[in-house]
Structure 1
Amino acid sequence: MIIREWRGRAAKSNPQGYPHHFRSKVMPELGELPGFLGAHLCRRDLGGTIEFLVLTKWRSLEAISAFAGDDVGQAIVEPEGVAALVDFDNRVQHYETIEDI
């Protein structure tokens, strides 16, 4: 299993904008993709902003490539997601799961 990690930051005045987008748009679309296994949406207070951490689980890098294209390290952020954030990572990280308990 591969974990895909991405982070975005939102204004404190808009704490529900990105979570709403994630639940209503991102998850339904990802749920239709072969090889997508699930996701976690996490948040933390950074003082002036809220950081969201998205961890998606995939069967393989090939499955990620079918979603993200040839450059699997490029973040895929839809316009609605961009609008809900003040800043976000343009690149993602991938981790091979070596133990899942």
Structure 2
Amino acid sequence: MSEAGASVMRQWRARATPEGALAYRAHLSGSVLPQLQALAGFRGVALLNRQVAGEVEITVQTRWESMAAIAVFAQPDLEAAVVEPAAAAVLLSYDDVVTHHQVILEG
């Protein structure tokens, strides 16, 4: 999926209450991010929030060097979402699957 020099964006979505979204942010930054930063091929994360009818739609985009780097984090099923119990506890709902996108332009 990834060409030489390109990267892969792994995207996942969830919904939470406003309080749950804050708790998820704390979990991501305090627990998940340090684990990801220790993995070879991890290039960064973006946490996006959008208010929708009193809830918060959460989008997490992690950037990786390659699908092989993602495999270290997400095996055996690269399409399955990796959701820790602490994260699931503060979310109203979340996608069970992720999408992968080749990054073809960054600025």
Q: Displacement of 1:13 after TM fit?
A: 4.2
Q: Displacement of 1:70 after TM fit?
A: 2.7
CA displacement 1:72-98 (0-9 Å, x = unmatched): 110000011001101000000000011
| 1:24-35 equivalent positions in 2, closer than 5 A | 24-35=30-41
> TM-score, normalization: structure 1?
0.95
Q: Which residue of 2 aligns with 1:2?
A: 8
Structure 2 Cα separation of the partners of residues 57 and 10 of structure 1: 23
Answering whether residue 62 of structure 2 is matched by residue 56 of structure 1, we say: yes
Q: Quick one: percent identity of the two aligned structures? A: 37
SS at match of 1:85: coil
Task: Choose from 83, 97, 100 the match for 2:103.
Answer: 97
Give 2:37's aligned amino acid: G
8 A contact 2:21–2:91 mirrored in 1: no
Unmatched 5+ stretches in structure 2? 1-6
Q: Which residue of 1 aligns with 2:3?
A: none
SS at match of 1:64: helix
Give 1:86's aligned amino acid: L
Aligned length, in residue pairs: 101
Task: Choose from 23, 30, 36 the match for 2:29.
Answer: 23
> TM-score, normalization: structure 2?
0.90
Structure 1 Cα separation of the partners of residues 94 and 50 of structure 2: 14
SS at match of 1:16: helix
Structure 1 Cα separation of the partners of residues 88 and 97 of structure 2: 14
